[in-house]
Amino acid sequence: MEDRGPTVINTGGGNGGWAVAVVLAVVAIGALLLFTGVIDIHGGKGGGGTSVTVNAPAVEAPAAEKPAASPEKPAAPAAQ
């Protein structure tokens, strides 16, 4: 019998990489269009007119007690 060489089987696979590349390309193009403003999903431009009104209560500080009357002459320094 003759010796045969190695048998190579090619199943034609390898299309998974192309599928991943196409999905990534579509996501990248969508993100580019969204973030550059080409696709407007009413995020912050015009239209909505959001109005915020805040009514803060008026708070007054409590009245401070008046200090006792200070002497006309300051006290003499303490003796050492």
Classified as helix, coil or strand, 60 is: coil
**How many CB atoms sit inside 10 A of residue 39's CB?**
12
Q: Where are the domains of the chain?
A: 16-40
pLDDT digits (tens, 9 = 90+) for 60-80: 988 888 777 776 777 777 776
In a structure prediction context, what are the per-residue pLDDT tens digits for the chain, which is 80 residues long? 678 888 888 877 777 888 899 999 999 999 998 888 787 776 655 555 678 898 989 999 888 887 777 767 777 777 76
Specify the pTM.
0.38
Find out whether 33 and 25 touch, Cβ atoms under 8 Å. Answer: no
